[in-house]
């Protein structure tokens, strides 16, 4: 029972190498979906298993055992081992929940600050130009009370020529149209639940940038121009101090490993296909789900037995 509930805590370590292969072997949109869904599914499994594992140590407290109507101790394996694992799981669960609450609050404050900086500025068609010599551009998602905007500094506009500026704006529009901020937010939440899942955040960010790059290249019909625009924008951004860290949900044109993005644009357009790496991700999530469910069922039966009931099935 305990082994079944521990397995989903170890399986997330398989995702980072699979994610690194996915972003280079499949279409960016497919990689974006596959990595994000896998990370979220594994994160849910982690939280569910930690919650289930803390039950034995909780029910070892007489008051809680009485509330649960236990007439004998819960048997889930060797008592000392079960209680040690359960106590560690309880501590990890509390720390994880605290980390989630603290970092979500911090990220929301940072997003609110960025929105506040541009809220008073005029915009045309969702484009907001900031009078700032530092080159920067990013897609700012809308909220319940505000609309999405593309934010570009005057420094970035001066660094690019007219065709490159059009590539830049098309790239940022693709971020908003593809709702890439939702993928970034979801995988960031998953990363705060497990250290292995935190390692796939850069891969999802890279996949989102690659998806926007491909959208810009398709819109203009010139992959070399798109590659040049991405390269020049990134080069311009390195010439001066940046405007400070942006929220995770505000992807920008200079995010991620730019040389790899430029190299991919100079190659032929990626082919949409199902690669073995995607099947491996699906298998990993399936094993985690099956293990979590089986462990939870066995734990439930153990509680029934401790309550003096005959085990079902």
Report the distance separating Cα 124 and Cα 150, nearest Å.
10
Q: What is the mean pLDDT of the chain?
A: 86
pLDDT of residue 106: 92
Rounded to an integer, the average pLDDT of 250-269 is 85
- Residue 302 has phi, psi (to 5 degrees) of -65, -40
- pLDDT, residue 298, reads 78
CA gap 182, 80 in Å, rounded: 43
- Name the helix (H) or strand (E) containing 118: helix 79-119
Coil, helix or strand for 176? helix
- The stretch 228-255 carries a mean pLDDT of 79
For residue 4, the model assigns a pLDDT of: 82
Query: Average pLDDT, stretch 283-295?
Result: 90
Q: How far is CA 233 from the centre of its chain?
A: 25
Confidence of residue 81 (pLDDT cuts 50, 70, 90): confident
**CB burial readout 10-22, b (16+ within 10 A) else e:** ebbebbbebbbbb
What pLDDT is attached to residue 121?
83
Q: Percent of the chain, pLDDT > 70?
A: 92
Specify burial of residue 44 (Cβ count, 10 A radius: 0-12, 13-18, 19+).
Answer: middle
What average pLDDT score do residues 285-303 get? 85
Q: What count of other Cβ atoms lies within 10 Å of the Cβ of residue 298?
A: 17
Instruction: Look at residue 76 and give its three-state secondary structure.
Output: coil
The 3-state DSSP class for residue 104 equals helix
Split at pLDDT 50, 70, 90, the class of 3 is confident
Per-residue pLDDT, averaged over 199-206, amounts to 95
Q: Which of 89-93, 192-196, 305-309 shows the lowest mean pLDDT across its residues?
A: 305-309
Q: How far is CA 266 from CA 47, 302, 303, in A?
A: 42, 59, 60
Q: Is pLDDT of 46 > 70?
A: yes
pLDDT of the residue at 145 = 61
pLDDT tops 90 at residue 203: yes
Q: State pLDDT tens for residues 135-186.
A: 989 999 987 566 889 999 999 999 999 999 999 999 999 999 999 999 999 9
Check pLDDT > 60 for residue 243. Answer: no
The confidence score (pLDDT) of residue 308 equals: 74
Q: pTM for this one? A: 0.88
Check whether 273 has a pLDDT greater than 70: no
CB of 227 within 8 A of CB of 195?
no
* pLDDT of amino acid 218: 92
């Amino acid at each position: 029972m305990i082994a079944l509930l521990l397995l989903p805590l170890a399986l997330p370590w398989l995702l980072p190498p699979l994610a690194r292969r996915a972003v280079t072997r499949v279409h960016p949109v497919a990689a974006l979906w596959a990595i994000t869904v896998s990370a979220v599914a594994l994160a849910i499994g982690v939280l569910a298993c930690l919650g289930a594992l803390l039950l034995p140590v909780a029910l070892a407290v007489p008051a809680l055992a009485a509330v649960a109507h236990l007439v004998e101790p819960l048997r889930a394996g060797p008592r000392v081992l079960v209680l040690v694992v359960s106590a560690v799981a309880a501590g990890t669960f509390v720390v994880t929940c605290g980390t989630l609450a603290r970092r979500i609050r911090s990220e929301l404050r940072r997003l609110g600050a960025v929105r506040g900086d541009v809220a008073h500025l005029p915009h045309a068609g969702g484009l907001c130009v900031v009078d700032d010599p530092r080159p920067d551009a990013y897609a700012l998602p809308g909220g319940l009370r505000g609309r999405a905007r593309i934010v570009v500094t005057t420094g970035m506009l001066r660094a690019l020529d007219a065709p490159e500026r059009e590539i830049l704006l098309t790239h940022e529009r693709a971020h908003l149209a593809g709702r890439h901020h939702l993928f970034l937010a979801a995988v960031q939440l998953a990363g705060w639940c497990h250290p292995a899942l935190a390692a796939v955040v850069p891969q999802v960010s890279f996949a989102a940038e690659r998806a926007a790059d491909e959208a810009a290249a398709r819109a203009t019909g010139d992959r070399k121009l798109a590659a040049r625009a991405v390269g020049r924008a990134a080069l311009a951004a390195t010439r001066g101090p940046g405007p400070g860290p942006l929220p995770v949900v505000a992807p920008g044109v200079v995010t991620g490993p730019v040389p790899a993005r430029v190299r991919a644009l100079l190659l032929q357009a990626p082919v949409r296909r199902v690669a073995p790496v995607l099947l491996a991700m699906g298998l990993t999530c399936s094993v985690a789900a099956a293990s979590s469910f089986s462990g939870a069922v066995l734990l439930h039966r153990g509680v029934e037995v401790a309550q003096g009931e005959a085990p079902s099935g």
